[in-house]
């Protein structure tokens, strides 16, 4: 045994980086909304970066641990409490048997991740542990976690065990944490960088200008499949019908009502709406954590800038990998 779901909350699922490679058969990729948080969480507990975690949406999820474990909580600040006390995020934490972690609310962001040393023992379906609830595949029995579900945990690797041993002695968490602010903006108004989409030129000059300069508000019609925004209407100069073609995470579609929809993790594999833009990979985690009713601004950047942003992000992740590894190796996990 490893842990038991006390309360499922709004929506909690097992997710890894997604079910890739089968889109040609119409299989949805799915996976985490915020891949960066998943990867960092796994680095903190020394799992493979694509190991599955529990993705908690908004609040209410409560989990009781039936053994001693090392976990890390990353992603949005959903105010995780351990036995009633706020528990720090973005660092490894030693959890004692029969402790309960509860997510109280949405201080910042929408999705938090619980990574656990050893990972979750759920079967791989088409090379992924991700839950895709609409099709009922992957994760725990193909569905969102529910009350009294019991999840088995894999055996942690050597370094995780070393972390566990060190943290076993109090304090239960180290004095250091990942500088997450370097990845996620802090202000209320987020800038989301995009590339021009394949149908960008079909939109009127005015719509092109509005898209790049006006604020867009995330509506409550936002889920793991897509985020619908409200703001200045985007119109094509000469409305044309398109054949459906491949879409991906971050594709900005504009349906006939002129309000943009951004496709997220559980997106369909193809789409027929004109694509005004494509969110750059480096800004997808930031986008995933935008709360409904929050405003964003889209900024059009070049492919070069998009690549640079991604390389910079990957460099930072490499630094974190080395930093955590050194802390674990030198016994400096508590320093």
* 323 lines the binding site for another protein (CB under 8 A): yes
Closest contact distance (angstroms) between CB of 53 and another protein is 20
d(C-alpha 157, C-alpha 294), whole Å: 41
**Closest Cα to residue 120, out of 82, 63, 76?**
63
Number of alpha carbons in the 13 Å side-chain half-sphere of residue 125: 20
In the bound state with another protein, the residue whose beta carbon lies nearer, of 24 and 169, is: 169
* 314 lines the binding site for another protein (CB under 8 A): no
Site for another protein in 157-176 (CB under 8 A): 175-176
* 316 lines the binding site for another protein (CB under 8 A): yes
In the bound state with another protein, the residue whose beta carbon lies nearer, of 181 and 304, is: 181
* 187 lines the binding site for another protein (CB under 8 A): yes
Sheet architecture: strand order including 92-95: 11-15, 53-57, 108-116, 69-77, 92-95
d(C-alpha 32, C-alpha 220), whole Å: 20
* 327 lines the binding site for another protein (CB under 8 A): yes
d(C-alpha 83, C-alpha 92), whole Å: 17
In the bound state with another protein, the residue whose beta carbon lies nearer, of 184 and 229, is: 184
In the bound state with another protein, the residue whose beta carbon lies nearer, of 30 and 174, is: 174
The DSSP symbol for 78 reads -
Site size with another protein, rule: CB under 8 A: 21
In the bound state with another protein, the residue whose beta carbon lies nearer, of 195 and 320, is: 320
Measured CA to CA in angstroms, residue 134 lies from 27, 101, 142, 143 at distances of 11, 27, 9, 8
**Who contacts 197 (Cβ-Cβ below 8 Å, separation ≥6)?**
251, 252, 274, 275, 276, 277, 278
With CB under 8 A as the contact rule, the residue among 180, 212, 295, 307 that binds another protein is 180
How do beta strands 295-300 and 190-196 pair? Answer: parallel
Closest contact distance (angstroms) between CB of 191 and another protein is 15
* 312 lines the binding site for another protein (CB under 8 A): no
Site for another protein in 246-305 (CB under 8 A): none
Question: Which residues form the interface with another protein (CB under 8 A)?
Answer: 175-182, 186-187, 316, 319-320, 322-324, 326-327, 330, 332, 335
């Amino acid at each position: 045994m490893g842990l038991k779901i006390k309360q499922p909350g709004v929506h909690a699922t097992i997710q890894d980086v997604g079910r890739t490679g089968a889109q040609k058969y119409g299989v949805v990729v799915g996976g985490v909304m915020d891949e960066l948080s998943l990867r960092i969480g796994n680095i903190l507990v020394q799992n493979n970066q694509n190991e599955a975690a529990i993705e908690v949406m908004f609040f209410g999820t409560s989990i009781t641990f039936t053994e001693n474990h090392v976990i890390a909580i990353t992603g949005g600040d959903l105010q995780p409490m351990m036995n009633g006390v706020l528990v720090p995020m973005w660092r490894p934490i030693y959890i004692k048997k029969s402790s309960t972690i509860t997510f109280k609310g949405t201080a910042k962001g929408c999705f938090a991740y619980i990574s656990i040393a050893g990972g979750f023992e759920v079967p791989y379906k088409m090379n992924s542990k991700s839950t895709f609830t609409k099709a009922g595949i992957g994760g725990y029995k193909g569905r969102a976690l529910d009350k009294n579900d019991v999840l088995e945990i894999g055996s942690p690797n050597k370094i995780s065990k070393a972390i566990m041993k060190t943290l076993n002695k109090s304090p239960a968490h180290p004095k250091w944490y990942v500088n997450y602010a370097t990845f996620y903006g802090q202000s209320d108004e987020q800038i989301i960088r995009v590339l021009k989409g394949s149908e960008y030129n079909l939109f009127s000059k005015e719509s092109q200008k509005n898209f790049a300069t006006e604020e867009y508000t995330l509506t409550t019609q936002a889920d793991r499949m897509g985020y619908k925004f409200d703001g200045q209407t985007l119109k094509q100069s000469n409305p044309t019908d398109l054949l459906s073609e491949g879409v991906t995470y971050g594709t900005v579609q504009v349906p006939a009502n002129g309000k943009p929809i951004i496709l997220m993790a559980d997106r369909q594999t193809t789409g027929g709406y004109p694509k005004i833009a494509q969110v750059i990979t480096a800004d997808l985690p930031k986008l995933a954590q935008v709360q409904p009713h929050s405003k964003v601004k889209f900024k059009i950047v070049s492919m070069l800038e998009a690549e640079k942003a991604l390389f910079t992000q990957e460099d930072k992740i490499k630094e974190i990998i080395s930093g955590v590894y050194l802390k674990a190796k030198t016994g400096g996990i508590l320093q």
